[in-house]
Amino acid sequence: MRMANVIGHKQPKRILQNALAEGRVAHAYLFHGPEGVGKTTLAMAFANTLLCREGTGDACSGCSICRRFDKGRFPDFFLIEPQGNNIKIEQVRELQKTAAFKPYEASAKVYLISRAETMTRDAANCLLKILEDPPRDTIFLLTTVNPYNLLPTIVSRCQPVALGRVSQQEIEQLLRDCHRGDPDTATLLATLCNGLPGKAWAMAEPDKGLGTREIVFQLYEKVKKANISELIKQAEEFEKNKDIMPEVLEQLLLWYRDQLIWKETSDKGLIINVDKIEELKTDSEFRDKSYLIKSIRNILEAKMQINRNVNFRLIIEVLMLRLAGCA
Ligand SMILES: [Zn+2]
């Protein structure tokens, strides 16, 4: 996997490649940024580049190391991921054992620890000991959504690599190049994913993101009809599928945002749900601005309350009644 094939992240890529060119690669890096931004993808490409026999500043894709790396079968590369919800002490002990040996074939061994914040306390303390006295010819690549969820002593031993959101055009191009849906779907997903290629990719899977979007628009129809018993039943359904709620609220928010923007500007270029423009025209006619602003506030409030683990069912019921104009 070549770094040149990873979309976005120009600056972080340049920093990593410069370190490589100048022979001052750190023994540990921490890739951080939002879920789906491409932390593991970039870390994998960097790992491949570090291991490649031929590459100058990027993996060559052709040497025997690169070919085995791409198939997930290169013995000097180790991927450590959560087992269940956590990275466990046993996994880090295993890492410690293998790190004591010389690289099998490449000039270094590379350990990619994905979602490092899921390490148990014991696992984190064990990794800290390893990072305090790193074995020779060993490079650690950690990824996390939020460095504050890691031990500060681990963070301070890693070079930070901050990843920001990727442009809509680049994501759209990626989806088109990989034939993920038709061109219209690619445009839509690129706008909906909010700069997160991983999210666009997941939404392109049948029955995933666009499935959630269908749920959102079904919900919106119920809100429009102000059918209270239907809305209460829907809240019950959501309680059984709590995991999808952050995504449902996010998309609902974008829909209300679109209605408000359309009402104020009638500018198609500013709309995210471009495929729903006809519905947008009709609906924003009969909505007044204060209702739309209030609804956006109510959705944002529900999002925050869910994060704080307040009574889930109650939050959703109240939100629906409010959107339907009944509370
Ligand atoms: Zn190579």
- The structure tokens listed for 107 are 């000039």
* CA dist., res. 265 & res. 261, Å (int): 6
C-alpha 74 to ligand 1 mean position (Å): 12
In 3D space, the residue among 176, 126, 168, 178 whose CA is nearest the CA of residue 151 turns out to be 126
C-alpha 158 to ligand 1 mean position (Å): 26
pLDDT tens, 125-171? 999 999 999 999 999 999 999 999 999 999 999 999 999 999 999 99
C-alpha 182 to ligand 1 mean position (Å): 33
Q: What spatial distance separates the first Cα and last Cα of the chain, rounded to whole Å? A: 53
C-alpha 146 to ligand 1 mean position (Å): 32
Phi-psi region of 83 (alpha: psi -120 to 50; beta: other; left: phi over 0): beta
DSSP-assigned letters across all residues of 27-44: SEEEEE-STTSSHHHHHH
In 3D space, the residue among 41, 36, 34 whose CA is nearest the CA of residue 1 turns out to be 41
Question: CATH 1.20.272 spans which residues of the chain?
Answer: 206-323
CATH number for 206-323 (one of 1.20.1270, 1.10.8, 2.40.40, 1.20.272): it is: 1.20.272
β-pairing verdict for 159-162 and 109-113: unpaired
CA angle 199, 247, 303 (to 5 degrees): 130
CA angle 144, 42, 139 (to 5 degrees): 75
C-alpha 110 to ligand 1 mean position (Å): 15
Return the higher-pLDDT residue of 141 and 324: 141
CB 115 within 8 A of CB 82: yes
Exposure of 72 in the CB half-sphere (CA atoms within 13 A): 2
Whether the model clears a pTM of 0.85, i.e. scores above it, the answer is: no
C-alpha 27 to ligand 1 mean position (Å): 21
The separation between CA 65 and the C-alpha centre of its own chain, rounded to angstroms, equals 29
Question: CATH 3.40.50.300 spans which residues of the chain?
Answer: 3-162
**Mean pLDDT calculated for residue range 246-273:** 90
C-alpha 172 to ligand 1 mean position (Å): 28
Class of domain 3-162: alpha beta
pLDDT tens, 164-221? 999 999 999 988 887 766 777 788 788 778 899 998 888 777 655 567 788 888 889 8
C-alpha 47 to ligand 1 mean position (Å): 11
C-alpha 14 to ligand 1 mean position (Å): 19
